[in-house]
């Protein structure tokens, strides 16, 4: 038996209509792909985070074997690629309805878009023009997302320990939700960080078009930090030297550091 987890994330102003269309596209996708693949069993299907600025849902599916799971995942990814406009030829019949519903959901979400997520890939789906040309195009994986070790700085807005330690940071550049999971060893450390500026270190997955961070994996550390606008932010600046001896020239202080 093969187990796979899929997620969608709705950002920006989450309205009843935008959430309805996002869920409608999500349900249609699993319904149509199940008919295409055959039997499947949804183990878990729930909203994992819901607030004014984001909604995150997770669906966990078990398959009879890896071949069925891989085929389902491939169709799921193709649905996202067609909805994004990366593959501009008409979608095959098996995913035509889900693609249409996902494009409607993206229009409802406006410029904030919808993120669809598999274990190995994130897809930021933004509204596309109705008059897009129908030229065949097969994107490379690099055109979808880029991964690198990095730091995300923002406010920790959501923290849940139910069925794993999950957290959401609103990054201070795009002001969008960035989802990640934490190792249980960091549980006590993050307990008092809720609603405070933090920085998380790990493998950051970014949208290849916009550079927007979509998720963080393999988080190695999370710590409180001061951000621009805080009157005491200068204290956390890297490379700041405490000047405890008034009147001592800067070059003498630097010479002492060099000698040490």
Average pLDDT over residues 116-140: 66
Among 96, 47, 106, 104, CA closest to 75: 96
Tokens of 94: 């098996």
Between CA 166 and CA 180 the distance in angstroms is: 6
* 62 within 8 A of 43, measured Cβ to Cβ: yes
| d(C-alpha 110, C-alpha 95), whole Å | 22
pLDDT at 7 over 80: yes
Note the pLDDT tens digit of each residue in 57-108. Answer: 888 888 888 888 898 899 899 899 888 888 777 888 888 888 999 988 888 8
The whole-model pTM stands at 0.69
87 in Cβ contact with 138 (< 8 Å): yes
Percent of the chain with pLDDT over 90: 4
pLDDT tens per residue, range 222-250:
888 876 655 555 555 554 445 455 556 65
Q: Give yes or no for a contact between 203 and 148, defined as CB atoms under 8 angstroms apart.
A: yes
User: Would you place residue 132 in the very low, low, confident or very high pLDDT band (cuts 50, 70, 90)?
Assistant: very low
pLDDT at residue number 255 = 67
Q: How many residues does the chain have?
A: 260
Per-residue pLDDT reduced to its tens digit, 17-51: 888 988 898 988 888 888 888 766 777 788 887 77
At 150, phi and psi to the nearest 5? -165, -170
Other CB atoms within 10 Å distance of the CB of residue 214:
23
Domains of the chain: 2-139 (3.30.70.600), 143-236 (2.40.50.140)
63 close to 40: Cβ distance less than 8 angstroms: yes
Would you say residue 260 has pLDDT above 60?
A: no
Per-residue pLDDT band for 116 (boundaries 50, 70, 90) equals very high
Structure tokens at 4: 């796979």
């Amino acid at each position: 038996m093969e187990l796979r987890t899929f997620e969608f994330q709705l950002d920006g102003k989450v309205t009843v209509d935008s959430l309805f269309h996002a869920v409608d596209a999500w349900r249609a996708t699993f319904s149509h792909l199940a008919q295409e693949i055959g039997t499947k069993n949804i183990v878990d299907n729930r909203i994992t985070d819901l607030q004014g600025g984001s909604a995150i849902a997770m669906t966990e599916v078990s398959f009879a074997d890896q071949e069925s799971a891989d085929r389902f995942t491939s169709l799921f990814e193709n649905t996202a690629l067609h909805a994004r406009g990366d593959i501009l030829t008409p979608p095959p019949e098996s995913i035509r309805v889900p693609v249409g519903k996902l494009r409607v959901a993206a229009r409802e979400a406006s410029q904030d878009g919808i993120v669809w997520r598999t274990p190995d890939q994130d897809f930021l789906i933004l509204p596309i023009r109705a008059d897009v040309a129908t030229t065949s195009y097969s994107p490379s994986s690099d055109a979808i997302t880029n991964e690198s070790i990095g730091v995300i700085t923002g406010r920790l807005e959501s923290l849940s320990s139910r069925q794993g330690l999950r957290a959401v940071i609103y990054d201070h550049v795009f002001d969008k939700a960035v989802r990640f999971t934490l190792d249980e060893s960091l549980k006590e450390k993050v307990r008092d960080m809720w609603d405070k500026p933090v920085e998380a270190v790990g493998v950051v997955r970014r949208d290849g078009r916009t550079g927007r961070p979509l998720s963080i994996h393999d988080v190695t550390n999370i710590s409180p930090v001061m951000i621009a606008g805080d009157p005491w932010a200068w204290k956390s600046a890297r490379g700041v030297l405490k000047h405890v001896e008034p009147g001592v020239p800067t070059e003498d202080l630097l010479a002492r550091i060099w000698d040490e």
